[in-house]
Amino acid sequence: MTRRVVVTGMAGMTPLGEQWSEIRDAMEQGRTGIRYMEEWDRLPGLKTRLAAPVTYFKDEGTFPRKRARSMGRVAAMAVRTVERALEQAGLTGSSELSSGRTGVAFGSSYGSTEPTRGFVRFMEQGDSTGLTAMSYIKMMSHTAAINIAIYFGLKGRIIPTSCACTSGSQAIGYSYEAIRFGKADIMIAGGGEELCPTMAVVFDTLFATSCCNTTPERSPRPYDRDRDGLVIGEGAGALILEEREHAIARGAPILAEIVGFGTNVDGAHVTDPMPEVMSDALRLALVDAQLTPEDIGFVSGHGTATIQGDIAETAATAAVLGHKVPIHSLKGYFGHTLGACGAIEAWLTIEMMREGRFAPTVNLDVIDEKCAELDYLHGGFQSIDCQYAISNNFAFGGINTSLIIGIDKYYGNN
């Protein structure tokens, strides 16, 4: 049994804001959320000083203290984003949430990092005064998924996806499969990540961070010849996925449809991507959607601005979709939001598909000749009318995901 899966609500939190209208305005002006992190000057072992923080969201005081006890920053961002997505879907306070047929798939690279200080102090000094009953709950990898389930009273299945840069996209893909094969009627899907210098230093040790510290507005530079690495960001994204007939029956807005999903793993190297296996993930999504490469009108690329990553990704994309498909990366605006990026990019892909206008890759001046030949969007917004777009993400461990999103003009602005 297979069923159609639609998007009935969506929301996000990015360094450029929460509303698509304000994000779009910033993009049109060429503004990004990247800034110099003065607070990192105390860390001489960290070469990069660039990041993309969400400065407007204060996790403390957003929720009642009793309900926020188990939330670190990443969980608070996730719950707030889901709250807004449920509102758009018309599910706020609905008995559907506790019916047992609504579940959650949500991921992050890690939980909140702050509580780890207490555990380190305990291991080094034997001092446990910095630990509380909630310390582990805040830092565990499935903290966002659990806090969402508890806050909204969910009784269905839970799928934590702690898979670094594919956490958000896997959450959407596995939610799509859960509904498609009758295991749920509604799934809350997405990912989040809070900003921490420990995440930046991970890439620092791999010589993969941008060190253009004096010109934050010019970095990162996905697909550009002069790119020098990625910039870490933070944020969250959430989609409400629903079985199509179920959504129609309750009069829910149908914003888009998830029509295909492919995921696999290289099984070869932790950090060295394999273009041929990445290509297989795209092919799996096409087969799942019963579409041809010619049906895909746009690609939301992973585009981290790392030297080898951009080359491998574009080679894989061209091998499957050909050289004429339009592609962009949004990470120049938000930095690499790790566990959140797949969900944020899927959300914004839907927004752009509905408007028929797509943002360029910011800071892309000279396309790297080592990247595969594709139609790289740069310079300004471009009008593209497409029914199907593909959103790709790739993570440490050789984890590859490809989501295919459809938007039928029949849906209109419903």
Active site residue 371: no
Least Cα distance to 238 among 381, 396, 357, 75 occurs for 75
Active site residue 336: yes
d(CA 354, CA 287): 24
d(CA 364, CA 257): 30
Two tokens, residue 381? 């917004």
Least Cα distance to 190 among 340, 357, 333 occurs for 340
Kindly state the helix (H) or strand (E) to which residue 248 belongs, with its residue range. helix 244-249
| Residue of 165, 196, 212, 341 with catalytic role | 165
d(CA 90, CA 185): 15
| Residue of 142, 196, 212, 302 with catalytic role | 302
Cβ atoms of 32 and 16 within 8 Å: the answer is: yes
Cβ atoms of 332 and 222 within 8 Å: the answer is: yes
3-state secondary structure of 395: strand
d(CA 69, CA 138): 9
Cβ atoms of 145 and 71 within 8 Å: the answer is: no
| Residue of 196, 212, 328, 336 with catalytic role | 336
**Scanning the structure block, which residue is given the tokens 């499935």?**
142
Active site residue 142: no
Between the two ends of the chain, the Cα-to-Cα distance in Å is 28
Q: Which residues are catalytic?
A: 165, 302, 336
